[in-house]
Structure 1
């Protein structure tokens, strides 16, 4: 059973690292703020959670599992808020192409 958990942990670590790499490349290569914001949140959060799962499967001690769970909760709580603030600041500063927006819910609030 330990060998199976070790292999699953290794697989989760590799998958998380690849997703985090893809997110980093996306942040560097995507052309607009909205695309970069998407790359910085969705695959990055999933990559970090997979890395944490891989660590949990490898370490297996209660103290480590508690810390890993805490890191995962904070990641899930802070990444969407940071993306929202980045998007709002980009919108207010005029760095977003409004043609890319499907629905502009803030159009009536513009100064």
Structure 2
């Protein structure tokens, strides 16, 4: 059973590292700060969740509570921080690279009195 946990923890570490690498590549390759932030927040959180799961498995449950606490903090704070930073960037005048749908946030701000 311990050997199975080791293999599973190793697979989770590898998957977490690969997803984090994809997020880092996204930060380098995407065209604007909003897209980069999206890649960093989504891929970074998923990679960290997998790595924390690997920590919980590799420690045979001894650090499972600490890993779960870290996971909950990450899942609660990362989307909120990305949203706040994106909104602040938009208010500062940093323009996104727009697709066919345009800029909904700018339209909403014009309609509000």
TM-score category by the smaller chain? 0.7 to 0.9
Shift of 1:97: 3.0
Gaps of 5+ in 2: none
Higher mean displacement: 100-109 or 75-84:
100-109
Q: Give the number of aligned pairs.
A: 110
1:31 aligns with 2:31: yes
Q: Which moved more, 1:9-18 or 1:25-34?
A: 25-34
Using the TM superposition, give the Cα deviation of residue 25 of structure 1 relative to its aligned residue in structure 2, in angstroms: 2.1
* Counterpart check, 1:22 vs 2:22: yes
Which blocks of at least 5 consecutive residues in structure 1 are unaligned?
A: none
Aligned to 2:95: 96
**Residues of 1 paired with 2:45 and 2:104: CA distance?**
26
**Whole-Å separation in 1 of the counterparts to 2:17 and 2:97:** 34
The 1:36–1:98 alpha-carbon spacing in structure 2 relative to 1, beyond 3 Å, is: closer
TM-aligned CA distance change 1:45 to 1:101, over 3 Å: farther
Q: Distance in 2 between matches of 1:30 and 1:74?
A: 27
Which residue number corresponds to residue 66 of structure 2? 67
Partner of 1:80: 79
Q: For 1:35 and 1:44, how far apart are their aligned partners in 2?
A: 14
For the aligned residue pairs, the C-alpha RMSD in angstroms reads: 2.0
